Structure 1
């Protein structure tokens, strides 16, 4: 019998994943771009796999760096892949295809892709080592597996408020309960090595996101407020007894107040890894 894995707690409803569509290769995969640009010069026809692509905004922007190559974007949700296809069309990106796939059993032959990329996927998984094994399996010898994951413990924000602090505590607790990993960004090397990579094959860095413009505050704060108003995080917090209905309303209001503050900012830390097979 196949092993059952945990579900993605936020789900795929547009308000729950609104902030995903802010992400681009430039703000979410900058650590990969230099090697991608070097590789495409030597191999213009390179093949890139984006695993757990979600709304496809990173996938589509990566595709622009390899105009003669091809991007395959996968996700377990057909609904989100439909949105990703619409985004690619809006961006005029034609060298990309979309395919439903489970990261634990990718439907590709061994040694198929030159680059395999995943962003903010393994932190939600109960078996990240198994996912790395699959990504390493489908990348060619000499190719690269690139991955970026949050360290959810590492939030820096202003203005501080009891509501956002409580939200952060609830986020950490519900992520753990849902089978995710709150310190994924710090675990990428050990997971890769457990999956069979040698230390000398690995380059590890840290990156950040920063939300401070009015548009960024609306995007980030609005998504966080939506997650505590309804959806998987709210449901799990109530089920665990770590928040009440009133708490959830207070946390949502705290995010709405944060959005309105002209001097508000929010930063988060991520681990980044390049594995050469």
Structure 2
């Protein structure tokens, strides 16, 4: 690792920030990993998986169903509060999931595990919040065993596609990206993911690259996503930071809230978000 770094999740873990995270599952947010997880599970009956920046643990717990009978998955995060929520979620999935899944506090910059401790290391929407993404990837690769994989997925906040084409939604997208950058994060993570992996030491021939999408259009998905964005505009760190930096005004916030309310109520509403995806096959 280069220099001294502290991992900080600037948006925090207020329900307005994390509610929409709990929509995420292995199927809608880590599909690029599943075939590799199944393949490695056949080869390694005691498959060891590390899920870095697990948050509420919904992806962690749903990945567990793809493990071999003796496989395990450990989720990490830097917040004790969100890890408590993740443990509750895993326990609610039943005893089979609960016995496979555990959680531990840890920073991606300094993972408290020996070299090669895991067969699969996964991170979803973690690097975009970091000032030094390549250093984090290098640390994840360190704890990945030879023959295993490092699986990463990052949204690109410059690549949204929404209908109806409301000015308030376009301004919200810019606000979200600008605040992320102001917090020291990366707004273009999806398109830069490969470059970070190569900077971390990967050889190009060992890396699979692709793009996946999230689509929010069903009524329940619109309510979950749009409602969470409205809550963030009313009470979240993004609102406070945007106003503090002069990126947005109170009037602008209200216009964005109205746009999200209109979007939630529109039967023809869609929102597509592009995510970069990488599988680094470790030698």
State the TM-score bracket (shorter-chain normalisation): over 0.9
Report the equivalent of 1:78. Answer: 80
- Say yes or no: does 1:231 pair with 2:236: yes
Report the equivalent of 1:273. Answer: 278
Q: Deviations over 1:191-219 (max 9, x none)?
A: 11111111111010100000001110011
Once the two structures are TM-superposed, the CA of residue 190 in structure 1 deviates from its matched residue by 1.1
Report the equivalent of 1:197. Answer: 202
Report the equivalent of 1:108. Answer: 113
Once the two structures are TM-superposed, the CA of residue 126 in structure 1 deviates from its matched residue by 0.6
Report the equivalent of 2:149. Answer: 144
Contact kept? 1:148, 1:271, Cα under 8 Å: yes
Report the equivalent of 1:26. Answer: 27
Within the candidate set 70, 76, 83, 1:68 is matched to: 70
Once the two structures are TM-superposed, the CA of residue 130 in structure 1 deviates from its matched residue by 0.8
Separation (CA, whole Å) in 1 of partners of 2:101 and 2:239? 35
Q: Deviations over 1:64-116 (max 9, x none)?
A: 11132000000001101111001101111120110000000001011100000
Give unmatched runs, 5+ long, in structure 1: none
Q: Deviations over 1:29-72 (max 9, x none)?
A: 11111111111111121000000000000000111111320000
Going from structure 1 to structure 2, the CA distance change for 1:88 and 1:150 (only over 3 Å counts) comes to same
Going from structure 1 to structure 2, the CA distance change for 1:138 and 1:6 (only over 3 Å counts) comes to closer
Separation (CA, whole Å) in 2 of partners of 1:11 and 1:266? 24
Q: Deviations over 1:217-257 (max 9, x none)?
A: 01110111111112211111101112111111221121112
Report the equivalent of 2:42. Answer: 41
Going from structure 1 to structure 2, the CA distance change for 1:113 and 1:153 (only over 3 Å counts) comes to same
Secondary structure of the corresponding residue to residue 225 of structure 2: helix
Separation (CA, whole Å) in 1 of partners of 2:23 and 2:175? 24
Report the equivalent of 1:254. Answer: 259
Write the mapping of 1:151-162 to structure 2, written as runs, cut at 5 A. 151-162=156-167
Provide the aligned length of Structure 1 versus Structure 2: 276
Report the equivalent of 2:92. Answer: 90
Once the two structures are TM-superposed, the CA of residue 4 in structure 1 deviates from its matched residue by 4.1
Q: Deviations over 1:171-190 (max 9, x none)?
A: 12111111111111111111
Secondary structure of the corresponding residue to residue 64 of structure 1: helix
Secondary structure of the corresponding residue to residue 206 of structure 1: strand
Separation (CA, whole Å) in 2 of partners of 1:189 and 1:33? 20
RMSD across aligned positions (CA): 1.1
Separation (CA, whole Å) in 1 of partners of 2:65 and 2:123? 17
Q: TM-score, with normalisation over the residues of structure 2?
A: 0.95
